[in-house]
Amino acid sequence: MFMTEKELQELANRIVAKMMRIRTVEEWFSHIEKSEMAKQNDYDNLDMTVEDDALGEAAKLMTLMNLFQEREEYEKCAIVKRRLDVLNEILGNQ
């Protein structure tokens, strides 16, 4: 399989763009982790809303649901689904 010069240039541009995004994220994280808030390492003072907390919990439960499905642990899936239903009600009422 051979690439044309145009296709090769497009691939190179995509690679460079991706590398720049990765570098930017690394620099941002390096800067942020030196901030006073990050140094405090105080999870309890994040000032999250009920919706923020529910979304975080939903993300965790969806990850667990996928894990349990892969393992074919369907009873656990049912328990997680019930909890997700409750969270969906919370998020729907916001």
**φ and ψ of 93, to 5 deg:** -90, 0
Place of tokens 């894990």: 67
pLDDT digits (tens, 9 = 90+) for 62-87: 999 999 999 999 999 999 999 999 88
Q: What is the pLDDT of residue 17?
A: 84
Residue 16: pLDDT band (50, 70, 90) is: confident
Domain assignments of the chain as residue spans, ordered by start: 1-41, 48-94
Token digits of residue 5: 């010069």
Residue 34 one-letter amino acid? K
Q: What does R_g of the chain's alpha carbons equal in angstroms?
A: 21
Shortest CA distance to 53 belongs to which of 84, 89, 87?
Answer: 87
Higher pLDDT, 51 or 75: 75
